[in-house]
Amino acid sequence: MQTFYNLIGGEWVTASNGAVFENRNPAAPQEVLGLFPRLTREDTRRAIEAARAAFPSWAATPPPQRGAILFEASRLIDQRLENIAVTLTREEGKTLAEARAEVRRARDIFRYYAGEGWRMSGTVLPSNIQGELLYTRREPLGVISIITPWNFPVAIPAWKIAPALVYGNTVVFKPASLAPQSSLMLVEALVEAGLPPGVLNYVTGSGGEVGDEMVTHPEVNGVSFTGSYQVGVQVYQKAAPTMKRVQLEMGGKNALVILADADLNKAVQLAVRGGFGLTGQACTATSRVIVEERIADAFVTALCEAANNLVVGDGLDPRTEMGPAVSREQMETDLQYVRIGQSEGAKLLAGGDIAKQGGYFVQPTVFDHVEPEMRIAQEEIFGPIIAVIRAKNFDDAIEKTNAVSYGLVAGIVTNDLQKAITFAEQADVGVVKVNEPTTGLALQAPFGGFKCSSANTFKEQGQSAVEFYTRTKTVYLGYRT
């Protein structure tokens, strides 16, 4: 069993009081993967102070030089792709194929933002005064606190840390305690690529202590958080007194609408991929399938057959198609929602139980005849549970798509172009997918939701990230007297 360290001011350190916590393999919970420092508030303050001290020099570094470090880090990630992927699978549970795809995405994100170092620009504006140059310039925000979840412990840190660094900010980064090791490997790549001390600080510990200090400390200028709605609201409220800029992504209750004209086999494949891929542990996962009544029976029969045929097991086994829940707590949450669905009158047609012993394995689960007001149709479960809701027609399907408090992703399966475009216009979500799974995002495109899925302010990914990680300064330069 290995002991790991935190990075503060360029030094690898333990908690000042020596406290540690374990991370374990969800496919074999008896296996302790490592010990990580459980930092105190004072330790966290030192990390924030290190980031503040490193900020002036890093902000003054030419953006192409900052980008060059990111590019070198991407090369190192590519070299270590298999090792990072195996580590990711062992601590988070997803299949090795899913883990490899995530690490490749992180590599590509670093490459993309390395190029941003050459693309940063302001705007020259026409002045209404003769002899004056009027222009804007982008400047880094300052010290950024980055708090990420366990379900994408490589990709989500990458799409936050890379733009933060290339745009000239310094970072204090806290990964989720359930999956800290694979994100540490990103940090190690950046350090080896030449990132100066203090520019990136890696801290582990409890959200109530480490995370709270990262949100409330007056020297922090911005907070980027991905996690649950309940915690996101607390982050927003705690950051408000010090007027911090906040970027939140807080989950979804995503619908896949299947119209009567859809190819049934394709619709089932998309529902299975979106609902059971990644063990349903994705903010973009398909948790509701809204299907037109006249094809509902045939669709549900095919969906249940596909769910029953999925191979559940250790993600390192090449035969496995769906890995375990990330923890005992998450497994118990999944099973609790099965009981809730049954008590509300939904019809359990597939799964609903533990898949196998020895790990946190849950069966792919399908409920039919789910009503929109039921809890399994309203609340984010974060597990392999699909709630099938029957719709009378296209208009009814849109109404039921929007009948939740979240607004992250909605998909539609249809061959009717007019209905596809109408759905894209009327779905009250930040991302619409047509004839594609609700999961899967292009790194160059803006990402974020509406309603309770985000703070409805700053998007993530692509060039839109510049809006959160920089501030705009307007300059009036008179050159004639």
Which of 146, 120, 14 shows the shortest CA–CA distance to 64? 120
Eight-state DSSP code of residue 209: I
Q: For 382, left (φ over 0), alpha (ψ -120 to 50), or beta?
A: left
Q: How far apart are CA 257 and CA 435, in angstroms?
A: 10
CB 330 within 8 A of CB 149: no
SS3 23: strand
Q: Based on the residue annotation, tell me whether 283 is a catalytic residue of this protein.
A: yes
Confirm if 90 and 33 have CB atoms less than 8 A apart.
yes
CA 466, CA 286: separation in Å to the nearest integer? 29
Question: Residue 34's closest CA among 59, 66, 3?
Answer: 3
Strand-pair category, 385-391 with 365-368: parallel
Strand blocks (E) in 26-110:
28-37
* Helices 394-401 & 417-426 angle (0-180, nearest 10): 30
Which two three-digit tokens encode residue 214?
A: 């990262």
Q: Which of 147, 248, 255, 283 is catalytic?
A: 283
| Helices marked H in 240-291 | 264-276
Contact 170, 198 (CB under 8 A): yes
CB 300 within 8 A of CB 366: yes
Contact predicate 367/386, CB 8 Å: yes
**How many CB atoms neighbour CB 32 within 10 A?**
12
Q: Among all residues, which ones are annotated catalytic?
A: 283
